[in-house]
């Protein structure tokens, strides 16, 4: 217990052995909140510090591995496949079982429920039993008294595997028609004849690598058996409801027997959307077998080897365009490397198709999306969820069109933008109604001084023999909503206690994005109380059931709105109560700055709450929200899958070394659209963090699988996310000053994913720099990530 918590207990007379009885305690005035002292001003629309910031900097914020262990807790470590593809002939754990502290192993035969995980496609075994499908696939667990005992012993388990030929690349899978899901083709117009009639055409190929999430907190779950075959699961998960469902399914129980809780994650980025479920199921199966609480925390290397990444993509395209650089036809094949099972690959590949237009109108187009099955980790959600893999290919094409025609790439991009009155329907038949691309990009081009700098870069390059510079502006238009329409619902609970303090709980999870802070701001705003009076609590399946994953950037849109509605219900109850006291209309009662103001009186919020309680007024409520307007046919991929679009643009300048291919990002200006910001500091944090993460994807973060299918970059020693030295010297973020044109909570827009794709400007700037060292009029063949080696190859 921290000093602060002790003070809190002292102040409220509570805690074990506290002097006051429960009744008194509940009515005592609140004197301390977890937040910094009140700053004044409105609770929302301002840069409140993260609700857990003070705990995080003091080491007092609890993550799953920090929870004090229940007596008797055992630890599990995974037994991994050492072969990419093969028949699993047997598991010999004799050597492991004699090691100190080892309690036993858990294998497929120990699963009381379904031996397949409860994934959407139902194609992934809990433990590999008859065959292995990638190096790192989990065959079983060793359970021991300590985590290191379990890990040491797991390495001693002998697995007998009869190897089969593996499929390791999406192109090989496509050639063999090896897919996790059937291909999807989206088509508009007559791309073949349009290609034939185009003044110019280009064909090309592109390979874009995957990305490891590298959440700083690795995957972890802690399963505790409770009475009457009930289970308590602590999970670092973006989707507690899904963990609940998976665990129930594997244990052969109903969902109501499982409670899953997650106070916070040490980062998620999509990597804990489905992948956290595996850990929880494994821990629960071990706990079931041994009748003891079991914690499973993956070593970082094992985490790399077991869990899925961002999908690597390969592309083949033919594009037609006119003399101005406007696209007249596009035929594109996208090969998504899905790994050995479907996981979320269907919707990820769908979103790649949806975002192949990025900001541009494609008149005659065919996009064929192949969901390739390979013998690697099963790739999964990652910030952008296929969007980046769609956006990058069209930006690559536009950059090469400009180079081929000798035009400024920005001018070519502007010519291809969606129109307002015409050229405004996407290839999936959604009308773009909130288009701000043209003014936004124009403003960024001005504030970043793009034209002058482009000339300066050209001048530098003419005189510089070794170091070449490049500059690029790329936009982003990102569709907001889960494409699976039914996920776009959320619930929340707002409790006002008799002392006037407020607790909010919702179906979303906190992974660092500041969701709990924003939701607390919204609730405080709605109740007219200071931000400091609202406390956020852990996501918990026993509080708000059936919640969607905190994903698709939708956390605040969905849960914030649900919490707003819940708070509004409580406020309405209080307003009705006050209107009765003061004989005025309920609509005339206002809530602000901790006061409740009617035309006749001003009372403190606490006073009103206390009186309302005494008069048996309900002081808590649920709230429920479903996103309006959206509909979508998943067979034809047409409809309105998105409630609205979030927009942005970035101008990046880079330098490359033509002797080694090394590069540096020098200067970045971003103009991004978050609607009316609920919390500018948090939104800027998402923009900067998303951009840098995207920059990592396209520059230093290279996943390397060797010719046996072994992931040889499986730790931060070999897999390099951006470090402090990679941050551009000039890094400026500005927010677009306009509310969401759709009726979204507080007028805000979602911000988690869209900025990630702004980093494509870095990759385009690198291609611009490469082009300056090559003969004019040619495309640049640069695969992503733009490692020094790939840049040097592109220079040849």
Partner 1 sequence: METSPLAFIRRGQPVTLGNVPPGRTLLEVLREDLGATGTKEGCGEGDCGACTVVIGELEGDCIRYRAINSCIRLAHSVQGMAVWAVEDIAGADGTLHPAQEAMVRCHGSQCGFCTPGFVMSLFGIYQKYIAPTLVTTCTSLPPEGAFAPRGSPAALSASPPAITREVAQEELSGNLCRCTGYRPIFDAAQQMETLPAVKVDEKALVRQLRALACVRAEPVEALASTSTSSARTGFSARTAYLLPKSLQQLLALRASHPQAQIVAGCTDVGLWGTKLHMTFDSVLDVTQVRELKRVEHYDRHIAIGAAATLTDAFDALVQERPQLKTFAQRFAGLPVRNSGTLGGNVANGSPIGDSMPLLIALGANVVLMSARGHRELPLEQFYSGYRKTVLAPDEVVAWIKVPRPQAGEFLRAYKISKRFDDDISAVCLVVNMRLEGDVVASIGIGAGGVAATPIRAAATESLLLGKPWTQAAAQEAAVVLRAEFRPISDMRASAGYRTEVLGNLMRRFWLESQGVENINLELAVIPGLTRHDNIGAGA
Residue count, binding to partner 1 (CB under 8 A): 105
Q: In 3-state terms, what secondary structure has residue 170?
A: helix
Separation between Cα atoms, residue 757 and residue 693, nearest integer Å? 9
CA-wise closest residue to 432 among 422, 443, 441: 422
Closest distance between partner 1 and the C-beta of residue 599, in Å? 37
Closest distance between partner 1 and the C-beta of residue 529, in Å? 22
Separation between Cα atoms, residue 759 and residue 639, nearest integer Å? 29
Closest distance between partner 1 and the C-beta of residue 551, in Å? 15
Q: What is the DSSP string of 526-540?
A: HHT--GGGEEE--EE
Q: Does 713 bind partner 1 (CB under 8 A)?
A: yes
- Binding residue for partner 1, selected from 584, 586, 727, 781, defined by CB under 8 A: 727
- Is residue 577 within 8 A of residue 609, CB to CB? The reply is no
Q: Does 513 bind partner 1 (CB under 8 A)?
A: yes
Closest distance between partner 1 and the C-beta of residue 330, in Å? 33
CA-wise closest residue to 205 among 793, 781, 760: 781
Q: Kindly tell me which of 214 and 531 has the beta carbon lying closer to partner 1.
A: 214
Q: Does 115 bind partner 1 (CB under 8 A)?
A: no
Residue entry with tokens 């479920």: 277
Separation between Cα atoms, residue 270 and residue 387, nearest integer Å? 13
Closest distance between partner 1 and the C-beta of residue 756, in Å? 11
Q: Kindly tell me which of 459 and 636 has the beta carbon lying closer to partner 1.
A: 459
Burial 6-40 (b: 16+ CB within 10 A, else e): eebbeebebeeeeeeeeeebeeeebeebbbeeeee
Contacts of 682 (CB under 8 A, 6+ apart): 47, 48, 50, 513, 514, 517, 518
Which stretches within 615-655 are classed as H helix? Answer: none
- Binding residue for partner 1, selected from 308, 479, 514, 754, defined by CB under 8 A: 514
Closest distance between partner 1 and the C-beta of residue 693, in Å? 7
Residue entry with tokens 């969701």: 515
Separation between Cα atoms, residue 387 and residue 390, nearest integer Å? 5
Separation between Cα atoms, residue 337 and residue 584, nearest integer Å? 64
Residues 599-658 that bind partner 1 (CB under 8 A): 655, 657
Pick the piece of the chain touching partner 1 (CB under 8 A) from 13-21, 264-272, 434-442, 479-487: 264-272
Token readout for 675 is: 């609607």
- Is residue 554 within 8 A of residue 488, CB to CB? The reply is yes
Q: Kindly tell me which of 388 and 685 has the beta carbon lying closer to partner 1.
A: 685
Q: Kindly tell me which of 299 and 783 has the beta carbon lying closer to partner 1.
A: 299
CA-wise closest residue to 740 among 480, 462, 505: 480
Separation between Cα atoms, residue 469 and residue 285, nearest integer Å? 55
x/- binding map, residues 228-257, to partner 1, per CB under 8 A?
Answer: ------------------------------
Q: Does 11 bind partner 1 (CB under 8 A)?
A: no
Closest distance between partner 1 and the C-beta of residue 452, in Å? 10
Separation between Cα atoms, residue 589 and residue 607, nearest integer Å? 15
CA-wise closest residue to 208 among 715, 716, 767: 767
Q: Kindly tell me which of 134 and 289 has the beta carbon lying closer to partner 1.
A: 134
Q: Does 61 bind partner 1 (CB under 8 A)?
A: yes
Q: Does 451 bind partner 1 (CB under 8 A)?
A: no
Element spanning 473, H or E? strand 467-480
Q: Kindly tell me which of 23 and 59 has the beta carbon lying closer to partner 1.
A: 59
x/- binding map, residues 734-773, to partner 1, per CB under 8 A?
Answer: xx--------------------------------------
Q: In 3-state terms, what secondary structure has residue 163?
A: strand
x/- binding map, residues 132-171, to partner 1, per CB under 8 A?
Answer: ----------------x--xx--x----------------
Separation between Cα atoms, residue 185 and residue 249, nearest integer Å? 34
Quickly count: other Cβ atoms within 10 Å of residue 633's Cβ. 11
Pick the piece of the chain touching partner 1 (CB under 8 A) from 170-178, 267-275, 421-429, 608-616: 267-275
- Is residue 277 within 8 A of residue 244, CB to CB? The reply is no
Q: Kindly tell me which of 368 and 734 has the beta carbon lying closer to partner 1.
A: 734
Quickly count: other Cβ atoms within 10 Å of residue 121's Cβ. 15
Residues 302-361 that bind partner 1 (CB under 8 A): none
Separation between Cα atoms, residue 670 and residue 652, nearest integer Å? 9
Closest distance between partner 1 and the C-beta of residue 584, in Å? 39
Residues 41-60 that bind partner 1 (CB under 8 A): 47, 49-50, 52-60
- Binding residue for partner 1, selected from 123, 301, 572, 622, defined by CB under 8 A: 301
- Binding residue for partner 1, selected from 98, 446, 660, 778, defined by CB under 8 A: 660
Q: Does 460 bind partner 1 (CB under 8 A)?
A: yes
Element spanning 246, H or E? helix 240-251
- Binding residue for partner 1, selected from 118, 335, 733, 770, defined by CB under 8 A: 733
Q: Does 531 bind partner 1 (CB under 8 A)?
A: no
DSSP state of 750: -
* C-alpha 313 chain-centroid distance: 19
Q: Does 293 bind partner 1 (CB under 8 A)?
A: no
Q: Does 65 bind partner 1 (CB under 8 A)?
A: yes
Q: Does 300 bind partner 1 (CB under 8 A)?
A: yes
CA distances from 218 to 69, 78, 124, 222 (A): 18, 14, 21, 13
- Is residue 76 within 8 A of residue 295, CB to CB? The reply is yes
Q: Kindly tell me which of 464 and 489 has the beta carbon lying closer to partner 1.
A: 464
Closest distance between partner 1 and the C-beta of residue 632, in Å? 31
Q: Kindly tell me which of 249 and 272 has the beta carbon lying closer to partner 1.
A: 272
Residues 206-225 that bind partner 1 (CB under 8 A): 213-218
- Is residue 339 within 8 A of residue 379, CB to CB? The reply is yes
- Binding residue for partner 1, selected from 176, 712, 777, 778, defined by CB under 8 A: 712
Burial 225-253 (b: 16+ CB within 10 A, else e): beeeeebbbbbbbbbbbbbbbbbbbbbeb
| Cα end-to-end span (Å), the chain | 62
- Binding residue for partner 1, selected from 664, 708, 741, 774, defined by CB under 8 A: 664
- Binding residue for partner 1, selected from 731, 738, 747, 774, defined by CB under 8 A: 731
Residues 566-605 that bind partner 1 (CB under 8 A): none
Residues 472-501 that bind partner 1 (CB under 8 A): none
Q: Does 40 bind partner 1 (CB under 8 A)?
A: no
Q: Kindly tell me which of 615 and 712 has the beta carbon lying closer to partner 1.
A: 712
Pick the piece of the chain touching partner 1 (CB under 8 A) from 428-436, 594-602, 768-776, 787-795: 787-795
Q: Does 443 bind partner 1 (CB under 8 A)?
A: no
Closest distance between partner 1 and the C-beta of residue 3, in Å? 4
Residues labelled catalytic: 753
- Is residue 344 within 8 A of residue 381, CB to CB? The reply is yes
Q: Does 717 bind partner 1 (CB under 8 A)?
A: yes
Pick the piece of the chain touching partner 1 (CB under 8 A) from 349-357, 404-412, 603-611, 696-704: 696-704
């Amino acid at each position: 217990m921290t000093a602060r918590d002790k003070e809190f207990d002292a102040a409220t007379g509570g805690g074990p052995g506290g002097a006051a009885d429960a009744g008194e305690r509940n009515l005592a005035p609140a004197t301390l909140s977890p937040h910094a002292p009140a700053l004044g001003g409105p609770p929302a629309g301002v840069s409140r510090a993260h609700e857990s910031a003070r705990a995080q900097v003091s080491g007092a914020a609890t993550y799953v591995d920090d929870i004090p262990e229940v007596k008797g807790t055992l630890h599990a470590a995974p037994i991994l496949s050492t072969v990419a593809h093969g028949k699993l002939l047997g598991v010999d754990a004799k050597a492991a079982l004699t090691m100190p502290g080892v309690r036993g192993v858990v294998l497929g035969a120990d699963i009381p429920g379904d031996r397949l995980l409860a994934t959407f496609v139902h194609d992934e075994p809990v433990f590999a039993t008859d065959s292995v499908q990638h190096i790192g696939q989990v065959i079983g667990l060793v359970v021991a008294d300590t985590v290191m005992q379990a890990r040491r012993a797991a390495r001693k388990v002998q697995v007998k595997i009869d190897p089969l030929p593996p499929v390791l690349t999406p192109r090989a899978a496509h050639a063999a028609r090896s897919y996790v899901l059937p291909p999807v083709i989206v088509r508009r117009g007559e791309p073949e004849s349009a290609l034939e009639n185009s003044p110019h055409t280009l064909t090309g190929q592109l390979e874009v690598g995957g990305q490891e999430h590298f959440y700083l907190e690795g995957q972890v779950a802690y399963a505790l058996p409770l009475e009457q075959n009930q289970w308590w699961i602590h999970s670092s998960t973006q989707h507690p409801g899904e963990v609940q469902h998976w665990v129930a399914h594997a244990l052969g129980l109903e969902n109501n027997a499982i409670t899953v809780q997650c106070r916070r994650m040490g980062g998620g980025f999509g990597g804990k959307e489905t992948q956290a479920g595996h850990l929880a199921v494994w821990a629960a199966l071990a706990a079931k077998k041994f009748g003891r609480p079991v914690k499973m925390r993956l070593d970082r290397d094992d985490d790399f080897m077991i869990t899925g990444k961002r999908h690597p993509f390969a592309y083949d395209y033919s594009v037609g365009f006119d003399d101005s650089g406007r696209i007249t036809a596009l035929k594109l094949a996208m090969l998504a490397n899905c790994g050995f099972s479907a996981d979320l690959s269907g919707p990820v590949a769908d979103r790649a198709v949806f975002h192949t237009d990025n900001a541009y109108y494609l008149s005659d187009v065919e996009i064929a999306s192949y969901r390739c099955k390979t013998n690697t980790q099963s790739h999964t959600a990652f910030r952008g969820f296929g969007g980046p893999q769609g956006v990058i290919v069209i930006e690559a094409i536009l950059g090469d069109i400009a180079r081929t025609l000798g035009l400024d790439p920005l001018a070519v991009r502007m010519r291809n933008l969606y129109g307002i009155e015409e050229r405004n329907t996407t290839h999936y038949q959604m009308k773009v109604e909130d288009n701000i691309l043209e003014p936004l990009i124009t403003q960024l081009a001005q504030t970043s001084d793009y034209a002058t700098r482009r000339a300066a870069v050209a001048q530098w390059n003419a005189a510089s023999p070794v170091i070449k510079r490049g500059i690029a502006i790329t936009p982003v238009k990102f569709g907001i909503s889960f494409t699976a329409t039914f996920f776009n619902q959320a619930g929340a609970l707002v409790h006002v206690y008799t002392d006037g303090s407020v607790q909010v709980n919702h179906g979303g999870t906190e992974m660092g994005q500041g969701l709990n802070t924003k939701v607390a701001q919204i609730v405080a705003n709605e109740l007219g109380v200071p931000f400091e009076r609202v406390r956020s609590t852990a996501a918990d399946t026993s509080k708000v059931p059936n919640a969607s994953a905190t994903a698709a950037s939708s956390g605040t849109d969905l849960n914030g709105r649900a919490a707003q509605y819940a708070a509004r219900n409580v406020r309405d109850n209080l307003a009705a109560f006050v209107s009765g006291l003061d004989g005025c209309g309920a609509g005339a009662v206002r809530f602000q700055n901790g006061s409740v103001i009617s035309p006749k009186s001003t009372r403190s919020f606490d006073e009103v709450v206390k009186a309302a309680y005494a008069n048996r007024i309900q002081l808590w409520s649920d709230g429920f929200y479903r996103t309006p307007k959206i509909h979508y046919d998943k067979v034809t991929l047409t409809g309105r899958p998105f409630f609205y679009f979030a927009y942005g643009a970035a101008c990046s300048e880079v330098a490359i070394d033509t002797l080694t291919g090394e590069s540096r990002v020098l200067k970045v200006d971003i103009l991004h659209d978050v609607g009316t910001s609920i919390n500018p500091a948090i939104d800027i944090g998402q923009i900067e963090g998303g951009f840098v993460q995207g920059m990592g994807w396209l520059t230093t973060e290279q996943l390397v699988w060797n010719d046996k299918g072994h992931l040889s970059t499986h730790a931060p020693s070999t897999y390099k996310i951006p470090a402090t030295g990679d941050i551009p010297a000039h890094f400026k973020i500005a927010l677009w000053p306009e509310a969401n044109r759709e009726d979204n909570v507080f007028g805000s827009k979602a911000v988690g994913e869209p900025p990630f794709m702004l980093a494509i400007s870095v990759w385009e700037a690198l291609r611009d720099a490469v082009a300056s060292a090559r003969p004019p009029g040619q495309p640049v063949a640069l695969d992503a990530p733009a490692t020094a080696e790939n840049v040097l190859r592109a220079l040849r």
